[in-house]
Amino acid sequence: MSTQTDTTETVSIATENVEDKDQKSSNTGGLSSKDVDENSLDTDPYHYTKRGEFTSEIFKIAIQNLPRYYGYSEFKKLFHKLGLKPKKIKSISHSNLAFVTFNNEEGRQAALKTIKGYQWKKKILFAKEADPVVDPVTAKRKNEAEEPEEDPKKPKLSAEESVVNAVTPLAHLPYEEQLAMKETAMKDFLTFLTDKYQSNIPEMRKWLNEQRSANDGRCISLESIKPSPIVDGYRNKCEFSIGKSREGKEKIVGFRIGQYKGGHTAVASPLPCKNLSPGSKRVVEHMQAYLDQSELRYFDVVSHEGHWSQLTVRTTERSEVMAILQLHPQELSKEDFEAEKQKLREYFTSGPGSSSGLTSLYLQLVGKSLKEKGFQTNFYLVLGDTHVTEELLGLKFRISQDAFFQDGRGLGGSNQRLGVVSVCCGTGTIGLSLAHRVKKVIGVELCKQAVEDAKVNAKNNGIENATYICGKAEDRLPSVMQDISDSEKVIGIIDPPRAGLHRRVIQTLRRCEGMKRLVYMSCNPYTAWNNFIDLCRPVSIRYRGTPFRLTKAVPVDLFPHSKHCELILLFQREDSISDSSEVPATSEGSIDQSEEPVGNESPITGEDTTPTEQTAGNEKPAPLSEEGQTAAAESQNKQEDKSVNPGMTEGAVDDVKEAEMKDEVDAE
């Protein structure tokens, strides 16, 4: 596990004195955290390279004079062609500069020797060693020490007020005003998307001009936003950081006041936030009391010392409550761990925590070399059941500790010739709710435990026509589609992470001519617009199959009190737009960088759909971790948990990442 957070704001490059070993940290990576002066956490922006933890930032180079236009895939292939093995590749938008890291000094020196003077796309490339990125927290502290104090007359928000503003920035507005703001924001996105269609697909321009005239400059009219039936206390899954308060009190369970890359580490109580459920608040209060008397410290995201780092709480309509307490074992022995687990069990069964309402409590271990320390798994059940159960549309769904759950309403009517392919299906809620109305359901999901839950859920509900497959959608979907004949009619339901689907998935969907309709559920359409373009591109060698056309857009308020909004888009094949006979009647009224230059009804069912948000505004602890903490790695690799209000159509992911995440992709 590596230990560096990348941010576009803090990238620095050694332009002079590249051999200055005081600036470079390649000779300091062997130091232990005990060798690092505590004061360096406030003064040394490279302190994280001296903890004895691996980070490829100490093996970084800068490549200059790159072509103005090139694709990420092309750039990555160049390294393979040259026999180089990069760890990370980061291209800087609107510049001729890129940063590349390697696993060791040998790899870095080989790259410097090979790339210097190499001609690529008629450009002679330059390469030199580069400094690691600075730690944003240290940089912020240094700036604060050098800058004059803020105007004392300017009112300063309390920590709790700051959290409320971050998590629920619209909570001070009447709900109708919140909905109006979100509907306007989605109209703005459709205007943005229309411009992208105009510039990327010339063949659509005649149609676009007609649509613009009819829809206020947009390619399609926007349906009225679907409000949430539950405005307060709707979050049924929350992730809370454990850290130090702004005033210095340790082991606070709550939300971080700001992002780590912005230099923020302070945590404040989440209890004033309107969107937390009563069950979650109750668990937070009891866990806070337990941690206050615990001898173990909180995990410091700057020094990487300490133990308690995160609390996850999941509640259900059946009044079941699961909590997962995250622990870095550090130097704890197996005996110490078992003793702490016993303390937790006693506190929440016969002690003050017995009134918390917990029906399941886990300890989750995080960190390096767990097996070497005698730990054979990450999750340890402390008390109660191994899972919680949610009821939805007459079905029961098992939800395990590391699975994610998404809610869904089904198609009305029945069509036994119709198949449903659900991509990023989670625990199978959407597909299973449709299963008794269609011929078959196939779900594809990355999270192994979610797939196991989906299979159990199908069995427990007596559903035999649903199949669930574990793996990356881009790897598994081609074989899934090969098993579906062209004569079969298929509806695709796409519920991807915020960055969208891999290009190979879009290409596979395009080739499946039997898929006449595709429902795309986007928690942040601005990071997935490439998908929407590729679905509609004209036929080519790369994009085979009849193009889709966007025919409906429905905003759904998954996030009361926040600024975020889910957008559900319906795409139909161009040759079947006038033919809706294949859809059952309703019962009720990765950013693809290889193609991008570096520089009042549900679409599924016609019925009212009103999902809500999972964990908007919450931030996990952000240790300087190369694999897990960069915005790009999160957007590419992390499967966001999607928790919603009871009775909702679709799940949601947490707060939206910044636009720069498209500029960085883990080379692995």
Q: Residue 361: name the closest of 334, 387, 340, 330 by CA.
A: 387
Name the band, by pLDDT with cuts 50, 70 and 90, for residue 414: low
Instruction: Tally Cβ neighbours within 10 Å of residue 635.
Output: 24
111 in Cβ contact with 105 (< 8 Å): no
Give start and end residues of each alpha helix (H) in 270-421: 278-293, 334-349
Distance CA 202, CA 15 (A): 43
* DSSP H or E run through 119: strand 119-120
**Residue 270 has what pLDDT?**
95
**Residue 26 has what pLDDT?**
38
Name the band, by pLDDT with cuts 50, 70 and 90, for residue 141: low
Name the band, by pLDDT with cuts 50, 70 and 90, for residue 46: low
**Residue 514 has what pLDDT?**
80
Pick the more confident residue, 633 or 288: 288
Task: Tell whether 495 is in a known binding site.
Answer: yes
Confidence (pTM): 0.68
**Residue 497 has what pLDDT?**
84
Pick the more confident residue, 26 or 119: 119
Tell me the CA distances in angstroms from 504 to 476, 527, 542, one per residue in order: 10, 17, 10
Task: Tell whether 406 is in a known binding site.
Answer: yes
**Residue 561 has what pLDDT?**
97
Tell me the CA distances in angstroms from 158 to 73, 249, 270, 563, 621, one per residue in order: 46, 15, 13, 21, 21
> Does the pLDDT of residue 615 top 60, yes or no?
no
| Mean pLDDT across 298-305 | 86
Phi/psi of residue 352, each to 5°? -60, -30
DSSP states of 573-607: EGGGTT--TTSPPPS-----TTTS------TTTSS
Name the band, by pLDDT with cuts 50, 70 and 90, for residue 158: confident
| 333 contact partners, CB below 8 Å, separation of at least 6 | 373, 374
For the ranges 32-46, 92-106, 169-183, 638-652, which has the lowest average pLDDT? 638-652
Pick the more confident residue, 13 or 311: 311
DSSP state, 298? B
Pick the more confident residue, 263 or 616: 263
**Residue 137 has what pLDDT?**
54
Give start and end residues of each alpha helix (H) in 319-387: 334-349
Average model confidence (pLDDT) across the chain:
77
**Residue 507 has what pLDDT?**
92
> Does the pLDDT of residue 83 top 60, yes or no?
yes
Handedness of CA 551, 556, 559, 560 (dihedral sign): positive
Tell me the CA distances in angstroms from 329 to 50, 334, 370, one per residue in order: 21, 9, 8
| Mean pLDDT across 91-106 | 89
**Residue 34 has what pLDDT?**
44
Pick the more confident residue, 140 or 423: 423
**Residue 367 has what pLDDT?**
81
**Residue 585 has what pLDDT?**
34
Pick the more confident residue, 6 or 432: 432
Name the band, by pLDDT with cuts 50, 70 and 90, for residue 30: very low
238, 273, 425, 523: the active-site residue: 523
Distance CA 298, CA 332 (A): 14
Token readout for 320 is 């079941």
**Residue 641 has what pLDDT?**
39
**Residue 599 has what pLDDT?**
33
For the ranges 54-63, 424-433, 576-585, which has the lowest average pLDDT? 576-585
| Mean pLDDT across 636-650 | 36
| Mean pLDDT across 490-500 | 88
| Mean pLDDT across 80-87 | 92
**Residue 4 has what pLDDT?**
36
**Residue 39 has what pLDDT?**
52
Condensed to tens digits (0 to 9), the pLDDT of residues 305-351 reads 899 999 999 999 889 999 999 999 888 888 999 999 999 999 999 99
Residues belonging to the chain: 668
Distance CA 235, CA 559 (A): 9
Reading phi first (left if > 0) and then psi (alpha if -120 to 50, else beta), residue 222 is in: beta
**Residue 304 has what pLDDT?**
85
**Residue 368 has what pLDDT?**
75
**Residue 499 has what pLDDT?**
85
> Does the pLDDT of residue 469 top 70, yes or no?
yes
> Does the pLDDT of residue 44 top 50, yes or no?
yes
Q: Is 425 a catalytic residue?
A: no
Name the band, by pLDDT with cuts 50, 70 and 90, for residue 132: confident
| Mean pLDDT across 469-488 | 80
For the ranges 21-30, 39-48, 110-119, 529-538, which has the lowest average pLDDT? 21-30
DSSP state, 84? -
Token readout for 14 is 């050694």
Task: Tell whether 619 is in a known binding site.
Answer: no
Condensed to tens digits (0 to 9), the pLDDT of residues 364-383 reads 998 877 777 778 788 999 99
Alpha carbon of residue 580 to chain centroid = 34
Parallel/antiparallel/unpaired status of strands 515-522 and 489-494:
parallel
| Mean pLDDT across 204-218 | 95
Condensed to tens digits (0 to 9), the pLDDT of residues 247-294 reads 889 999 999 886 655 566 789 999 999 999 999 999 999 999 999 999
Query: Residue 66 burial (CB < 10 Å; 0-12/13-18/19+)?
Result: buried
